[in-house]
Amino acid sequence: MKISAIKELLDAEIVCGEEFLDHEVYSACGSDMMSDVLAYVKDQGVLLTGLVNSQVIRTAEMMDMVCIVFVRSKRPTEEMVELANEMGIALLCSPKRMYEACGKLYMSGLTGNGEHHE
């Protein structure tokens, strides 16, 4: 699924990384606990979170994620936007809650941890 499709599905606004909208991602995860993301997440292209601090950007970069979607209309700080730009990570903001956002992406074929959804 392209990041542009995620943007549309989640009624999201792109904050930075517009040049990555055509980038393909194959899986996603949703968490507000970066320790869980570090411990349990493998091969995820997209992180959905309501946590707003620079650790989110650093965690995504360590896990080779290419897109972060902030749910519940949360907005990244300028420092976070600068960091994401430096690391080549797209940032999106969605008014959807975590549960709905993850559900919409899953039902549209974006899975977690390499599983395949029919």
pLDDT in tens, the chain (118 residues): 999 999 999 999 999 999 999 999 998 999 999 988 888 777 778 999 999 999 999 999 999 899 999 999 999 999 999 999 999 999 999 999 999 999 999 999 998 765 544 4
Angle (CA) 103 113 85, round 5°:
80
pLDDT recorded at residue 117: 45
Which CATH code for domain 3-107?
A: 3.40.1390.20
Residue ranges per structural domain of the chain: 3-107
Residue 68 β-bridge partners:
47, 91
Please report, for residues 31, 64, 95, the alpha-carbon distance to residue 99 in angstroms, rounded to integers and kept in the order given. Answer: 10, 23, 12
Q: How many CB atoms lie within 10 A of CB 91?
A: 25
Residue 2 β-bridge partners:
24
